[in-house]
Chains A and B, each alone.
Chain A
Amino acid sequence: MVAKSNNSGEKQPRSNKDAGVLRNRYKILLQNPVPIMDSGYNRAYKVEDLRDPSSQVFALISEAGVPFRDELAEKLTAKSAPGMVELHSHGVVQFDEGDFRYAFVFDFPSEGRVFTNQTGPLTEQEVLGKVVPRVIDTIIDMAGRGLSHRAIRADNLFYMDEGKLGMVLGECVSMPGGSLQPAIYEPLESANAHPFGRGDGNVMSDIYALGVLVCHLLGGVVPGEGRSQGDLYAAKLQQGSYAVLVPKIPASARTGFLLAGLLNDDPSRRWNIEVLKRWREGVYERPRPGFGDRRAPGPLVFEDVEYVSPRLLALALAKRPSQAFALLENGKLESWVRNSLNDKDAGMSINEIVSRANGTKRGLRRNEVQAISRVSAILDHQGAIWYRDVTFGRRGLNTLLAFAVKEGGAMKNNMAELIESNLLIDIIYSDLNKRKNDKRKEESWLKLGLATDCVEYLEKRDHLGYGLERCLYELNPSVSCQSTALGGAYVSDITDFLQILEYKALKAEGKINPFDRHSSAFVAARTKSLAKNFQKLATLNKESVDYTLTLLGIFSRMQNLSNPGPMPGLCMWVGKAITPLINKIHSELRREFVKSKYEKVKETGNIEKILQAIDIKNNLNRDEREYEQAIRAFAVVEHNIGVLGNGAEGRKFEAQKYGQWIASLLSISTLLSSMGLSYLYFY
């Protein structure tokens, strides 16, 4: 969204000449990929600077559905950070009528990477003299602006000049924070999380990554290479990062001090910006290296292993929830937390979790998993949250959700289950309760209101505008709409959404399905004023007239709110959508009348005018009433025709009766006449 505001007042080019040009300056050449600069899901392409042909720049095209760090990009574009590849520009680029992509344009590091697997280890002099000060500059600058780089790693360092004297850090905006880092580069808070769930972290994450970077460059290989993410995490908890990483590299005492300070697992004891500044100025302090997680005086045996570290225990419990639940039920865990860890609050919370899990009869297995997740989060309130195969750092839920929705599969379902189960809300509360200050709610890693809203969205998941997709767009403002109707185009607001739909609808003569689960959730998330429409939609039967009309009403509102200009393509789609409604009109005359009204008004390209002109609901109501009357009239007519058709016998009988009555009248008249005439004749 911030990126869009950067675009304000700047219409995207329409002519072929301007296609693929960012901000009238950077022409992105899709035919010239630069694979060495690819970044995660995002592909790199050569760029032609139209104003300065001598500048060497490249573009990263953001993959649809992958969130990027838009606020960071905005700040780095406004003021670049020293020691970092410059981000010249970013924004939506139109390659053809329906092809919109989000692009970042960076300086191209023409001299290549500082370190590759082929270059081998760097000398201590190179690392401490060139790399570390440069990275510290970047970290200090970014920290001063409340930013974190989250991509400080050996293969993201580049030489910019021919003499290879200066080096810079590579980009950090096109993928979620920390998502491209090898697991070893992550501090304990996110080391165990899924790459997409590590979160943006803070300056302390960058400082820790600097420590690992030093180890990596001096050692020549990724520290902990060949070991799994879980192993490394457990080792860091048991021995501390310093002990795991440093003994394997040749390092002087100076480097050792630096690494001990940078790799302390406790962020409050890790070297901070002030210490780094002093170190850069040549004041070397002797830090105390960390030794992993705190240790309880007495062990707790779980699965024949003795645990003294609560975070290690949390990890073990999360991996074997069924066995862990038995430990919960027998009260040993609660007792250990109360007595050995001397944490009465945590003990009470665990006791409450066990009671709740036992009190719920439904979904036994799910109860166990949820209870264990809650307990794990209590035991390890700084590390990643576990739920089945979902692991994410405290601020990494949104990006992991984007990954889960993009990739689909079991993780997507587990994310839905996690959010719907109130587990998140419980963990947020539990984390908040550990803090003592007043600004509790504001400091939560996920706003409580948003978490509760997400639970509601999932409860209404069967309805358009809700479900996991809604959570995705609410939690990730930079994620583009992933509706298939948009054909992969980047769309981050309603104006673009309508513009692309209009193009697609016009091309397909209205034969599109613009309102699938993704597009509806996207619209609901980005247009708060339509909340009531979506609530109404959720209460209506999908086959009903009101449902279609409410749906069309949403598009009409969107058109008025964002782009009041004519939209003939979408009006054609409206025509297709209302055809079944018009066909529900029984009266041929009325049907033709409504159709002619639509044909007349569709030229305006305004959905609201079409809906007003055809007044379909009123017409349907009147038609229904009149049809009822017509049915009754028809039944009477049918009955009468039947009666008359089958009434020949009756009529014959009636004619017989009536005829003989007439005959008798004539006879009596004749008798009277005969009597009268005879009287006159004979007397």
Chain B
Amino acid sequence: MASKVKTGKSGKGFVPLLIFIGICSVVAPPTMIVLAGGMIPTLVATILNPSRIKGSLAAMAALNLAGVIPVLGFLWERGHTIDQSIRLLTDPFMWLFMFGGAGFAAFLLWGVPIVVQAFYEVKARQTVKRFEKRRAKLIEEWGGQIIEDSKMQRSVKTARK
């Protein structure tokens, strides 16, 4: 259900994009050619989008676009023609720009969660250590019976529920 809703939403998001593509294809075909070539990683990511997490697509699109924008700058600077756009697309450095952004996005999407998780784990381990210290202190003060009694209290509570 959720995926359907998501799909519906993304379907709605595509309409202005298609209108934009349609208008741009008429008004600025060279730009559209560069964009069509340069934004392939985003397109692929949109189609695959393994994690279905909004942020990942946004990150991919943003960094991909960040790589495409300088290429568009070159296009508009050297002449906004279809020839120029094809020439630029034949330049591997331009592809490096455009796909490099996407690649960096992919790296970020892979690496940042790992770093965050590592941080979470360290924090959790410290908290557990603190709780275990408190637990040992309680046992030391009140004896091992407290383990049984707390279990009993929990089971009584569960039974009441």
Contact = CB atoms under 8 A, between A and B. Distances in A.
Given A681-B70, A682-B77, A655 B117 contact: yes
A660 B51 contact: yes
Contacts of A655: 113-114, 116-117, 119-120
B157 to A, nearest CB: 9
A17 to B, nearest CB: 55
B115 A671 contact: no
Contacts of A16: none
Given A661-B55, A667-B63, A637 B138 contact: yes
Contacts of A654: 120
A656 B113 contact: yes
B135 A588 contact: no
Interface stretch (B18-26, B30-38, B139-147): B139-147
A4 B68 CA distance: 120
A660 B114 CA distance: 10
B89 interface: no
Contacts of B142: 586-588, 627, 630, 634
Contact of B128 (A641, A673, A678, A682): A641
Contact of A647 (B54, B119, B124, B150): B124
A92 to B, nearest CB: 50
Contacts of B70: 674, 677-678, 681
A283 interface: no
B73 A678 contact: yes
A652 interface: yes
B117 A652 contact: yes
A40 interface: no
B87 interface: no
A661 B62 CA distance: 13
A139 B76 CA distance: 154
The contact size tier of chain B is 35 or more
Given A654-B120, A659-B112, A667 B58 contact: yes
A587 B145 CA distance: 11
A228 to B, nearest CB: 68
Given A658-B116, A667-B105, A588 B140 contact: yes
Contact of A681 (B73, B105, B135, B141): B73
Given A631-B150, A681-B73, A637 B135 contact: yes
* Most A C-beta atoms less than 10 A away, residue of B66, B114, B119, B141: B66
Given A644-B128, A675-B69, A678-B70, A659 B115 contact: yes
B108 A663 contact: yes
Secondary structure of the B contact surface, majority rule: helix
A668 B56 CA distance: 11
Contact of A589 (B60, B67, B124, B141): B141
A662 interface: yes
A433 interface: no
B121 interface: yes
B66 A634 contact: no
Nearest to B153: A631
A1 interface: no
Interface in A615-670: 627, 630-635, 637-638, 640-641, 644-645, 647-648, 651-652, 654-664, 666-668, 670
Interface in B99-153: 101, 104-105, 108-109, 111-117, 119-121, 124, 127-128, 131-132, 134-135, 138, 140-143, 145-147, 149-150, 153
A671 B66 contact: yes
A678 B117 CA distance: 35
Contacts of A587: 141-142
B127 A644 contact: yes
A666 B114 CA distance: 16
A677 B97 CA distance: 14
B120 A630 contact: no
B59 interface: yes
B6 interface: no
A585 B61 CA distance: 67
A672 to B, nearest CB: 8
A645 B146 CA distance: 21
Secondary structure of the A contact surface, majority rule: helix
A631 B149 contact: yes
Nearest to A675: B69
B15 interface: no
B62 to A, nearest CB: 4
Contacts of A667: 58-63, 66, 105, 108
A673 B149 CA distance: 61
A668 B115 contact: no
A40 to B, nearest CB: 59
A586 B146 contact: yes
B45 to A, nearest CB: 12
Contacts of A647: 124
Nearest to A591: B143
Interface string A134-169: 000000000000000000000000000000000000
B143 A673 contact: no
B17 interface: no
Contacts of A673: 66
Contacts of A632: 153
A253 to B, nearest CB: 94
Given A588-B141, A637-B138, A660 B146 contact: no
B143 A663 contact: no
Contacts of B74: 682
A644 B101 CA distance: 37
* Most A C-beta atoms less than 10 A away, residue of B72, B108, B140, B154: B108
A658 B150 CA distance: 36
Contacts of B131: 637, 640-641, 644
B150 A666 contact: no
Given A640-B131, A641-B135, A658 B62 contact: no
Given A633-B138, A667-B105, A651 B66 contact: no
Contacts of A586: 142-143, 145-146
A663 B54 CA distance: 11
Interface in A548-590: 586-589
Contacts of B56: 660, 663-664
B53 interface: yes
B39 interface: no
Contacts of A641: 128, 131-132, 135
A640 B117 contact: no
Contacts of A681: 70, 73
Contact of B62 (A627, A630, A660, A670): A670
Given A651-B120, A661-B55, 16 more contacts: A588-B142, A630-B146, A634-B146, A634-B147, A634-B150, A640-B127, A641-B128, A644-B124, A644-B131, A659-B114, A659-B116, A663-B113, A664-B58, A666-B59, A667-B58, A667-B63
Q: Which 8 A-B pairs have the closest CB atoms?
A: A659-B113, A655-B117, A674-B66, A667-B59, A667-B62, A664-B55, A660-B55, A659-B112
6 contacts: A586-B145, A657-B55, A657-B113, A664-B55, A666-B59, A674-B67
Interface of B: 51, 53-56, 58-63, 65-67, 69-70, 72-74, 76-77, 101, 104-105, 108-109, 111-117, 119-121, 124, 127-128, 131-132, 134-135, 138, 140-143, 145-147, 149-150, 153-154
